[in-house]
Amino acid sequence: MTSSSRVDVQSQQMGRDLVALVLTVVELLRQLMERQAIRRVEQGDLSDEQVEEIGTTLMLLDERMAELCAQHGVRPEDLNLDLGPLGSLLPRH
């Protein structure tokens, strides 16, 4: 393998790692939004229309995340970073 080939392989791996990191941050934000929405629904301070809209939005976001993971060859479980003694970044469903 030539030096040029190694650099190319390394840059491809760095690109995949960067995509996985960005998707991890997006998934973390998506899950935080979902928990906040559930909290608001449980408090009962939303109209039926708002509850329906939030449910649809969260469902579409979940589908889009699955599409992005598939498009970039990242498994959803790859997004859950191990934080050592703190446990995993994302809660397990």
Report the domain count for the chain: 1
The answer to whether residue 5 is domain-embedded is no
50-69 tens-digit pLDDT:
999 999 999 999 999 999 99
**Domain residue limits at 32:** 13-71
Q: Are 68 and 23 in contact (CB under 8 A)?
A: yes
Domain annotation covers residue 80: no
The answer to whether position 22 is within a domain reads yes
| Cα 51 to Cα 41: distance, rounded to the nearest angstrom | 7
Task: Establish if 60 belongs to a structural domain.
Answer: yes
Q: Model confidence over 10-52: pLDDT tens digits?
A: 777 777 888 888 898 888 898 898 899 999 999 998 899 999 9
The per-residue pLDDT for 4 is 56
Question: How much is the pTM?
Answer: 0.71
